[in-house]
Amino acid sequence: MSEKLEKLNQLPRETAEVDFLNCCGSHRWARLMTEARPFANIVELIKQAEQIWLKLESQDWLEAFAAHPKIGARQAASKQRAQSAKWSHSEQSGTHAANDSILDALAEANRLYEEKFGYIFIVCATGKSAEEMLAVCQQRLNNIADAELRIAVEEQRKITEIRLRKLLEVGN
């Protein structure tokens, strides 16, 4: 077991919940993850995180989505914690060098998406350029609400897994 995982297993409840909230903005998910401790290894942690996530209700998923900044936004989401904001900035690095026309198009696509679905566009941005994220958003605008929610839930699951791995990195 890694030293970081051992520490996470032993943290006081409130501290562990904050660490989990940095990975996923659903309070219910963070609470259930805290209660699921101890984890024997990272594989068990990731598996439990996914199982808990997929059993949540739509309001829990929407709470997690609201803890993200919009793709291409220059500031953190209002409900976002400092560590989560730092990770979001890094995850969205593909937008940092984007020109104004791409950022404007992303802002418009974000607006249309939120207008249609009622929540912000969620995509696992790690490794994607601004142009790729724009194309994904524009394509997903064609989805029906139920299908899109399932896609957004899966994208959040991917983001959460990446963040859980970051949480356990040395020097984090």
Tell me which residue of 55, 61, 66 sits closest to 88, measured CA to CA: 66
Catalytic residue, chosen from 27, 68, 89, 96, is 68
Q: For 30-162, where are the E strands, in sequence order?
A: none
Report the C-alpha gap between 22 and 151 in whole angstroms.
Answer: 21
Annotated catalytic, 68?
yes
Phi/psi at 40 (5° precision): -75, -30
CB 52 within 8 A of CB 32: yes
* DSSP state for residue 131 in the 8-state scheme: H
**Nearest-10 Cα torsion for 55, 53, 39, 171:** -170
Instruction: Cite the active site residues.
Output: 68
